[in-house]
A = this chain, B = another copy of it.
């Protein structure tokens, strides 16, 4: 795997998703990269924080903005293991994020159910990166949840 490729950075987002899995959270991870430097890492924390807004992307945006002391993330790329939801796409628009790279598709809750037009017009988009790995983690999480509910 090439250093600093989309696949390389997606493995870092996957590492975050795996942390969420271990904590019993829906396993979604995100990182924010600026000039090939990871400025924020986060995973979904909605259960731990009792907070529906605590998606990986929202926490990553807040952390990156805090680190860079800038509301806008025009020079940054967000890598996330699952297609962002409408809330997160709205946040990424406000942040004027430079690029979004996501892995698995979310046909039910993904922002593409509304369309790319809800992103900032300058935001680039790439998807399907390590899609299988990202999907498998989610599938095995929901399988384990169903299994544990039967015990």
List chain A positions with a Cβ less than 8 A from chain B.
46-47, 50-53, 58, 61-62, 65-66, 69-72, 85-91, 93-95, 114, 118
Question: In angstroms, how far is the closest chain B Cβ from the Cβ of A98?
Answer: 14
- Find chain B residues with CB under 8 A from A118 CB: 86, 114
- Find chain B residues with CB under 8 A from A46 CB: 71
- Find chain B residues with CB under 8 A from A51 CB: 61-62, 65-66, 71
- Find chain B residues with CB under 8 A from A93 CB: 86-87
Can you list 22 A-B pairs, Cβ within 8 angstroms, ordered by A?
Answer: A46-B71, A47-B71, A50-B66, A50-B70, A51-B66, A52-B61, A52-B65, A52-B71, A52-B72, A53-B53, A53-B58, A53-B61, A53-B62, A53-B94, A85-B90, A86-B86, A87-B88, A87-B89, A87-B90, A87-B93, A88-B90, A114-B118
